[in-house]
Amino acid sequence: MSQANIAGREQTASESGLAAVQRMNRSRLLRPVLMIGGVAVVLLAAFFIWLFGGGTVWTDDSYVDAAKVSLSTDVSGVVDAVYVHDNQHVVAGQKLFAIGQEQYKIALERAQAELEQAVEGIKAARHGYQQAQAQVQSAEVQVEKDKADLARYQAVVATGGATRAETDDARFTLQADQEHLAELEQAAGQQLVKLQDNPDINPKDTPEYKQAQANLLEAQRELQHSVVRAPFSGTVTNVEQLQPGMFLPAGTAAFGLVSDTDVFITAQPKEDQLTWVRPGQKVSISVDTYPGQTWKGEVQSISPATGSEFAILPAQNSSGNWVKVVQRIPVRIKILSGPSNLPLAAGMSTEITIHTDHRRHLSDLF
């Protein structure tokens, strides 16, 4: 190998070592700069996220809810017909099922007859009172005649114009007719009591008529309630548990009805998330069943009590082993708009974001 080649290699090696040393020195200087700068960038990003991120409240403890009712009726009987099937949509007022109506029709006819009988009874009492009054007047005339006869006999008995026996007979006749008059007056009084002391009373104003009318209204109500209709529009569920021929006691749930118009979101955010939440604030809603779809809503109301307040066994905070637990407060969210072709079923899981528009300030840090 020539001397020139050796010298060239030594020079190249020297230059490579110098470059490596320079790179090492630069990395030593850059490493702390990057470490400190990276931490600063993270802290700065976290600060801006905190500063501008206080305007929303998010929770996934929320579900689709709807007005629902377990349909029943306050009359008992054998189910005569079921007019709907499971998961069928119904409108308000539509017939759902019927109890056998024969017994209630008979009760209605009986109540109608009792009402007519009450009217006839008042008419009979009025006629009886008129007859009693006529008999009283006739008896009064007879009593006056008896008094005149007795006075006439007493005036001439001393002179022999009338015997004592005739005078006694006149006295006894007067007493008998007076007793008969008292009986007639008592009978007339009883008839007048039936007429509420008013001979010209309207039959509709008497207690007998009002009682019979109440019985008729009750019979009509029972007949009407023997046919159960939808109180609002929605979808019926668990219809198969009700079949024609089975006996349904009063107040027993037949099947369910879930509204399709009164649908809302029930959320359970933590109590420390509700600092700036107020009714009327806008809400973004996403449903787990429909990824990528969004519904719009607003905060309708906030419960005045936490969920634990309605628990069967509420927490005993006065006990010695009490542990503080963050409570959840129910929030009702009204759905304003969303995809019309995507049905929402009660119980669906959702995620909500409440836009409180609250702005944090540096003073909140201190």
Structural contact between residues 337 and 295, judged by C-beta atoms closer than 8 angstroms: yes
What per-residue confidence (pLDDT) applies to 221? Answer: 95
pLDDT over threshold 60, residue 8: no
Q: Once rounded to an integer, what is the mean pLDDT over residues 210-228?
A: 93
**Among the ranges given (37-51, 221-235, 257-271, 322-336), the one the predictor scored with the smallest mean pLDDT:** 37-51
Residue 253's pLDDT band (boundaries 50, 70, 90)? very high
pLDDT tens column, 312-359? 776 666 666 667 788 899 999 999 999 989 999 999 999 999 998 877
pLDDT over threshold 80, residue 163: no
What per-residue confidence (pLDDT) applies to 29? Answer: 63
Percent of the chain at pLDDT > 70 equals 80
Distance of alpha carbon 263 from alpha carbon 347, whole angstroms: 11
Structural contact between residues 107 and 225, judged by C-beta atoms closer than 8 angstroms: no
Burial class (CB in 10 A: 0-12, 13-18, 19+), 240: exposed
Distance of alpha carbon 132 from alpha carbon 150, whole angstroms: 26
Structural contact between residues 39 and 210, judged by C-beta atoms closer than 8 angstroms: no
* Strand (E) or helix (H) holding 366: none
Pair of tokens at residue 160: 């022999």
Distance of alpha carbon 305 from alpha carbon 62, whole angstroms: 17
**Among the ranges given (90-94, 135-139, 362-366), the one the predictor scored with the smallest mean pLDDT:** 362-366
| Largest Cα–Cα separation, the chain | 203
Pair of tokens at residue 292: 């990528």
pLDDT tens column, 43-99? 776 666 655 566 788 999 999 999 999 999 999 999 999 999 999 999 999 999 999
What per-residue confidence (pLDDT) applies to 358? Answer: 77
Q: Once rounded to an integer, what is the mean pLDDT over residues 134-149?
A: 82
Domain spans, the chain = 56-67+261-310+322-365, 102-217
pTM of the model: 0.66
pLDDT tens column, 176-206? 878 887 887 787 777 777 666 677 777 787 8
Please tell us whether the domain made up of 56-67+261-310+322-365 is placed in CATH 2.40.30.170: yes
What per-residue confidence (pLDDT) applies to 307? Answer: 79
Distance of CA 340 to the CA centre of its chain: 28
What per-residue confidence (pLDDT) applies to 306? Answer: 86
Structural contact between residues 291 and 341, judged by C-beta atoms closer than 8 angstroms: no
The mean predicted confidence, pLDDT, of the chain is 83
Residue 280's pLDDT band (boundaries 50, 70, 90)? very high
What per-residue confidence (pLDDT) applies to 120? Answer: 83
Decide which of 209 and 34 is more confident. 209
Region for 19 from its dihedrals, namely left if φ exceeds 0, alpha if ψ lies in -120 to 50, beta otherwise? alpha
What per-residue confidence (pLDDT) applies to 264? Answer: 96
Amino acid at 259: S
Distance of alpha carbon 309 from alpha carbon 298, whole angstroms: 25
Rounded to the nearest 10 degrees, the angle between the axes of helix 102-156 and helix 164-194 is 160
Residue 20's pLDDT band (boundaries 50, 70, 90)? low
Q: Once rounded to an integer, what is the mean pLDDT over residues 96-107?
A: 93
